[in-house]
Amino acid sequence: MLRLARLAIDSWREPVAFLNRGCTEYAAESFLGPRKVEVSDGRRSVTCVLNLVDDAALVARDALALSAHAFALLGLEEGAPVAIRRAPEPASRAALRARIAGRRLSEAEIDAVVEDMVAGRYAGRETAGFLVAAAQTLDDGEVIAFARARAERSAQIVWPDGMVVDKHSMGGIPGTRVTMVVVPIVIAHGLTIPKAASRAITSPAGTADTMEVLARVDLDAEEVCRVVAEVGGCIVWNGRLSHSPIDDVMNAVTRPLGIVSDRLSVSSILSKKAALGVTHIVFDIPVGPTAKVATRADADALARLFAVTAEGLGIAARCEITDGTQPIGSGIGPALEARDVAQVLAGDPDAPADLRDKSLMLAARVLAFAGVAEPRERAEALLASGAAARAMERLVDAQGRNPDPPGPGRLTREVAAGSSGTVAAIDCHRIAGIARRAGAPLEKSAGIDQFRQRGDRVEQGEPLYRIHAEEEADLAEAAAYAEQGSGFEVAAG
Amino acid sequence: MLRLARLAIDSWREPVAFLNRGCTEYAAESFLGPRKVEVSDGRRSVTCVLNLVDDAALVARDALALSAHAFALLGLEEGAPVAIRRAPEPASRAALRARIAGRRLSEAEIDAVVEDMVAGRYAGRETAGFLVAAAQTLDDGEVIAFARARAERSAQIVWPDGMVVDKHSMGGIPGTRVTMVVVPIVIAHGLTIPKAASRAITSPAGTADTMEVLARVDLDAEEVCRVVAEVGGCIVWNGRLSHSPIDDVMNAVTRPLGIVSDRLSVSSILSKKAALGVTHIVFDIPVGPTAKVATRADADALARLFAVTAEGLGIAARCEITDGTQPIGSGIGPALEARDVAQVLAGDPDAPADLRDKSLMLAARVLAFAGVAEPRERAEALLASGAAARAMERLVDAQGRNPDPPGPGRLTREVAAGSSGTVAAIDCHRIAGIARRAGAPLEKSAGIDQFRQRGDRVEQGEPLYRIHAEEEADLAEAAAYAEQGSGFEVAAG
């Protein structure tokens, strides 16, 4: 046995063990190489990369030193007796190699690969090889198996109600805060809807960013259970709630490699829904030239994959392919979107009609799961009666009301049409880029307020939208970017 | 600037830099992460993973320490002033990602990817993603570009003669030492043939292992140039001669991932030929159920790829698809194979006819490149006159003669036919496994001496082959393995 020591070295994510080359207990050289070593006292163990040391002042000949992170993972005292051995090969390596060579895997094989990945038994190059091979060629059965293997390794929430509903949008369209209208309607009807929403990554606002204008969203699982028990639903950030250990492993590969795969995405999305205990879900797939899904054929394929995978996981699913050719609602950016939502819930005649209409349609699809005979009428009634608005107030209080919600930014600049005509197209990427330059989503009050939609008539010099910002520099940058291209295409006539 | 220090830590292939977290010159924390750092004195630089140290006794606050390997790579003295910065992003990353997503790359893009790989600018997961994507889908133009990019980064040898010939076999057939007959014939004719051969990886002997029975084979490029200038050719180990820096990077990924790809292999093989200055080459592609190439269709595809890639590199190539259904020659294992070669060169009537015949065929193909009108007759004449045997003697002397070449192992065990009939098939994998258990290739004298070939009549109890070994334990293990399956299939009648 070797004496355990700690070296005050922070090797970032990689646990490292240090052995003297002249070690008295082991042939140290035989452990040096690509294969990791397992350091153990017989009960606790940690798997490390091995470095050899030629200086007894750093590591004594009868000692084994660990980097700070590895030492903490092992959790033993300095001086504890430890042994080392070559880390066991991942049991699923033959399956991983077979997948790289193109063979389909069984459910048990995929489960074993995921298990070994989560346990850190694979090198990054092996995970990368597997994911590149899998990204475009996982078949339906593999997508289901992958989703199930991931869900089983995520924190699971079990609800007292038999029916737990959800609504998920593929996003990509700025604005479009339907979730914040759908959830209150569904709660008002009495269904359970624990909505875990994302923050913006490349967009001006995610649902979690906009909800945060009104209330706390970084709730943990325990808080979510309390809120849902009290109110019937929630709208919280998924980052704290739906953490899946396999995501860390996969994102470390897929992000730097730029891997974009519907098959991996669908398995990820549905694994999170399964872990959250969702039993019924409506998928919203917006289609448009600058939306995430560009063509109807892509949308059909994605809808089919959602349906098949959900069924494989025992989740009832319905897919709606919707118009993704332009932003929904007037506001883009957290505070402006929250204003649109408030107008719809309040029955304000100035509320964006498109936001109201899409929200009612999706809410009706969710209510239909519960056997509601005329779900659209029911959804409209819950909105008109103020029941949905009151549900939202309860929700905001339960999650933790923001006492001083920000409004639209006080600095503004209008962008006008360069010519007269009809709005022929709106470039969602461009609009998102302008809103982000104005400061969204970090600056809640920043964004864009749109005055025109596709098909609207506009005269030269009339404003198309107004940029809002909190800082002069942000406003200037957004305005300059809008001047290079407003995102609105106006066709003569 | 920081003072350069050396830490006596061997981090295997990964250069590591160590910075004190309380560094006086840099915000150390900002460098910790997946991205590497570049350590430089303004002229020389090395790219390293960064670790942070919380112990000034290990790394002072005004110092930067390097692991032993990184320190050697940088090549500066301790105390030299150095600066650090985040390593630049690989310029070819967009191309690498595009290839992973399925887009074909231009020659310039492939060159840039190879450049960044060799420079260590990619993480293992990125190299893995690229190679998995590329393994099955590189098109012909990409294979050529890849071979060229690799050749340009290998040590190049330039020969005075305009014509430099070579012969390359896909191997996989035990025995089959045609190279050691072809090269002396070609030398005797007066052509330049600098043959770089491999050692065994999974077989009982590579050409380099068998040549080593007679002479030194671990020559460096300078020694090879001297030998070739003196004799006209060589038969040396390719491991010291044809080292390609990209191989280290690629093998670290393809071996653990089990990636087998004709397209990567062909680009590798031809890059080495190009770096060695080869202008004309004959490829030998043995086909058989237990050879490397199993079907005629696979062989045709491989031959086409060799031809197209060679042409792209300006190398004249001819492919021969040959019988790979059984070992060629009687001996398997270095000393036994060397004996077969000596018999063929000596014109011994007991020499294996199949080895003589295949060698003459391939030698004739090589001579045909030089415009020899009746190349087969010329090859036979060079063999019959003893000119080839004399060329081999000069070659052995020039490379460094082994004064005491080992003969077949003194411990023997014969393996007999279990029934009477005709030898219907010989399992090359099995025969190789028995010879390796007997001690080949590390034990030069170990191996198998075959008495029967496919189609031969054999009576029950008659010996099929004799196992040779130097150690009793090896002989027992090989014999026990042969008892489980001799590798010979004898069909009744």
pLDDT of residue B253: 86
Taken as a whole, chain A contains a residue count of 493
The rounded mean pLDDT for chain A is 93
pLDDT of residue A415: 97
A331: which strand partners? A449
How far off is chain A from B89, nearest CA to CA, in Å?
11
Summarize pLDDT for A139-185 with one digit per residue, the tens. Answer: 999 999 999 999 998 888 889 878 999 999 997 787 789 999 999 99
Q: What are the pLDDT tens digits along chain B (493 aa)?
A: 999 999 999 998 889 999 999 999 999 998 988 788 999 999 999 999 999 999 999 999 999 999 999 999 999 999 999 999 998 889 999 999 999 998 999 999 999 999 999 887 888 889 999 999 998 789 999 999 999 999 998 888 889 878 999 999 997 787 789 999 999 999 999 999 999 999 998 889 999 999 999 999 999 999 999 999 999 999 999 988 767 778 888 888 888 888 889 999 999 999 999 999 999 999 999 999 888 899 999 999 999 999 999 999 999 999 999 999 888 999 999 999 999 999 999 999 999 999 999 999 999 999 999 999 999 999 999 999 999 999 999 999 999 999 999 999 999 999 999 999 999 999 989 999 999 999 999 999 999 999 999 999 999 999 999 999 999 999 999 999 999 999 999 999 7
Q: Chain A contacts of B58, Cβ < 8 Å?
A: 7-9, 58
Q: What is the biggest distance separating any 2 CA atoms in chain B, rounded to whole angstroms?
A: 88
Q: Chain B contacts of A125, Cβ < 8 Å?
A: 124-125, 127-128, 252-253, 256-257
- Check A102 against B129: CB less than 8 A apart: no
**Cβ of A11 under 8 Å from any chain B Cβ?**
yes
CA–CA separation, B262 and B309 (whole Å): 12
Q: Chain B contacts of A124, Cβ < 8 Å?
A: 123-125, 128
- Check B101 against A260: CB less than 8 A apart: yes
What is the CA angle B76-B77-B82, rounded to 5?
Answer: 60
Q: Chain B contacts of A33, Cβ < 8 Å?
A: 12
List the end-to-end C-alpha distance of chain B, in Å, as a whole number. 85
CA–CA separation, B320 and B282 (whole Å): 7
pLDDT of residue B121: 83
Concatenating the DSSP letter of every residue in A367-424 gives: HHHTT-SSHHHHHHHHHHTTHHHHHHHHHHHHH-B-SS---S-SEEEEEE-SS-EEEE
Considering only the beta carbons, identify the residue of B9, B33, B97 that sits closest to A53. Answer: B9
Higher pLDDT, A458 or B260: A458
ipTM of the complex: 0.72
Please give the C-alpha separations between residue A372 and each of A9, A181, A231, A366, A385, in angstroms, as whole numbers: 62, 18, 21, 9, 18
Return the number of CB contacts < 8 Å for A and B: 128
Q: What is the DSSP letter of B67?
A: -
Q: Among A183, A450, A157, which Cα is nearest to A329's?
A: A450
Summarize pLDDT for A117-140 with one digit per residue, the tens. Answer: 988 788 888 999 999 999 878 999
CA–CA separation, B454 and B428 (whole Å): 12
Residue A9's SS3 state is strand
Summarize pLDDT for A202-250 with one digit per residue, the tens. Answer: 889 999 999 999 999 999 999 999 999 999 999 999 988 767 778 888 8
Q: Chain B contacts of A37, Cβ < 8 Å?
A: none
- Cis preceding-peptide flag for B327 (omega within 30 of 0): no
Which residues between 240 and 299 in chain B have a beta carbon less than 8 angstroms from any beta carbon of chain A?
Answer: 252-253, 256-260
Question: CB–CB of B127/B117 below 8 Å?
Answer: yes
CA–CA separation, A467 and A469 (whole Å): 7
How far off is chain B from A246, nearest CA to CA, in Å?
16
- Cis preceding-peptide flag for A15 (omega within 30 of 0): no
HSE on the CB side for B338, CA within 13 Å? 25
Summarize pLDDT for A295-345 with one digit per residue, the tens. Answer: 999 999 999 999 999 999 999 999 999 999 888 999 999 999 999 999 999
Q: What is the DSSP letter of A401?
A: B
CA–CA separation, A59 and A7 (whole Å): 9
Q: Chain B contacts of A253, Cβ < 8 Å?
A: 125, 129
pLDDT at A13 over 90: no
Q: Chain B contacts of A21, Cβ < 8 Å?
A: 10
Considering only the beta carbons, identify the residue of B12, B33, B129 that sits closest to A132. Answer: B129
CA–CA separation, B14 and A52 (whole Å): 12
Q: Chain B contacts of A127, Cβ < 8 Å?
A: 125
When computed from its CA atoms, the radius of gyration of chain B, rounded to whole angstroms, is 26
**Cβ of A422 under 8 Å from any chain B Cβ?**
no
Considering only the beta carbons, identify the residue of A13, A52, A128 that sits closest to B125. Answer: A128
Which residues between 79 and 138 in chain B have a beta carbon less than 8 angstroms from any beta carbon of chain A?
Answer: 97, 100-102, 123-129, 131-133, 136
pLDDT of residue A139: 95
Residue A425 φ then ψ, to 5°: -160, 150
How far off is chain B from A102, nearest CA to CA, in Å?
10
How far off is chain A from B437, nearest CA to CA, in Å?
23
- Check A18 against B9: CB less than 8 A apart: yes
Residue in chain B nearest A99 by alpha carbon: B257
CA–CA separation, B386 and A85 (whole Å): 57
Residue in chain A nearest B100 by alpha carbon: A132
Q: What is the DSSP letter of A328?
A: B
Instruction: Choose the mutation target among A36, A71, A257, A259 for the interface with B, i.e. most B CBs under 10 Å.
Output: A257
Summarize pLDDT for A464-493 with one digit per residue, the tens. Answer: 999 999 999 999 999 999 999 999 999 997
Considering only the beta carbons, identify the residue of A58, A97, A257 that sits closest to B257. Answer: A97
- Check B126 against A126: CB less than 8 A apart: no
pLDDT of residue B15: 92
The pLDDT-based confidence of A12 (bands split at 50, 70, 90) is: confident
Residue in chain A nearest B259 by alpha carbon: A101
Alpha helices in A197-289 (DSSP H): 207-214, 221-231, 238-241, 245-257, 262-275
Residue in chain A nearest B99 by alpha carbon: A257
Residue in chain B nearest A98 by alpha carbon: B258
pLDDT of residue B109: 97
pLDDT at A349 over 80: yes
When computed from its CA atoms, the radius of gyration of chain A, rounded to whole angstroms, is 27
Q: Chain A contacts of B258, Cβ < 8 Å?
A: 97, 100-101
Question: CB–CB of A411/A469 below 8 Å?
Answer: yes
Q: What is the DSSP letter of B87?
A: P
Q: Chain A contacts of B13, Cβ < 8 Å?
A: 34
pLDDT of residue A156: 86
CA–CA separation, A448 and A343 (whole Å): 17
pLDDT of residue A266: 95
CA–CA separation, B126 and B108 (whole Å): 19
